[in-house]
Amino acid sequence: MIEIIPAIDIIEGKCVRLQQGEYSTKIIYDENPLEVAKIFEDAGLKRLHIVDLEGAKENTVINIKILEKIASETNLVIDFGGGIKSEDDLEKVFSSGASFATIGSLAVKEPSLFKSWVTRYGSDRIIMGADEKDYKLAISGWTNVTDVDLFDFIEDNYNAGVKYILCTDIAKDGMLMGSSISLYKKLKEKFHDLNIIASGGITKIDEIEELNRLKLHGVIIGKAIYEGMISLEELSAFVSGNNIK
């Protein structure tokens, strides 16, 4: 069954959400990310996706203390992304309690270094971020849409041993307009052995059920939870198997 992965995006130590990655659209949802994480855990969710938005912008991990607190005070399995640009950053993320590191921009800018990390730390610990717009990769906190083709990029890294990808359609992210189901269908058809995590635009539980039928590995849900479009009760029922159609 698809894993439900709630998201906590961090700016200045606070839980926020953006629209399409634009920092000017910041909305603060909670002053205490730890309390938000505990609410997710109390609802029966097992995973958590933390994004250091300041880190993504500044090209180095910044909000590491929040990762440490959530990892030490919950039993959530955490993946952490945003600003991982050096081996020192990566070591900090793992030593601070993350089970997975999500790495996107560096995989595009320094592919050899990224692939060496996959080999050294293991493909079970590295999630490759593949953020896209019109099938072209977006990097550096989505401030730069490149000419790199999404499918070519994934195929190259898949052949190099990558097992997990987190693919976000940035045109959908934070817009509450629905997920790019057709995108994930294409990815699953081409890379059927890859563990694909969908992200961006999830608005209702029916979309999660559809992504589950595609046999995706996971789905990240952020703004839909904070805006009350999808309730924690619905997610709890889904996780327990009582809401799968």
> How large is the average pLDDT for residues 68-87?
96
- The full set of domains in the chain, from first to last, is 3-239 (3.20.20.70)
| Contact present, 11 and 54 (Cβ < 8 Å) | yes
Active-site residue 206, yes or no? no
Q: 91 pLDDT exceeds 90?
A: yes
User: What does the alpha-carbon distance between residue 243 and residue 43 come to, in Å, rounded to a whole number?
Assistant: 15
The CA distances from residue 40 to 35, 49, 153, 239, in Å, are 9, 11, 33, 12
DSSP-derived secondary structure for 132-179: EETTEEEETTTTEEEEEEHHHHHHHHHHTT--EEEEEETTTTTS-S--
What are the pLDDT digits (tens) for 176-194?
566 889 999 999 999 999 9
Confidence of residue 96 (pLDDT cuts 50, 70, 90): very high
User: What does the alpha-carbon distance between residue 30 and residue 17 come to, in Å, rounded to a whole number?
Assistant: 10
The CA distances from residue 237 to 4, 17, 176, 240, 241, in Å, are 11, 25, 22, 5, 6
User: What does the alpha-carbon distance between residue 171 and residue 135 come to, in Å, rounded to a whole number?
Assistant: 11
Name the active-site residue from 79, 89, 131, 169. Answer: 131
Q: 141 pLDDT exceeds 60?
A: no
Q: 171 pLDDT exceeds 90?
A: no
Name the active-site residue from 9, 52, 79, 169. Answer: 9
Active-site residue 131, yes or no? yes
User: What does the alpha-carbon distance between residue 213 and residue 210 come to, in Å, rounded to a whole number?
Assistant: 5
Q: 242 pLDDT exceeds 70?
A: no
How big is the chain by its Cα radius of gyration, in Å? 16
Which residues neighbour 215 within 8 Å (Cβ) at sequence distance 6 or greater? 2, 188
Q: Which pLDDT belongs to residue 173?
A: 54
Q: Structure pTM?
A: 0.92
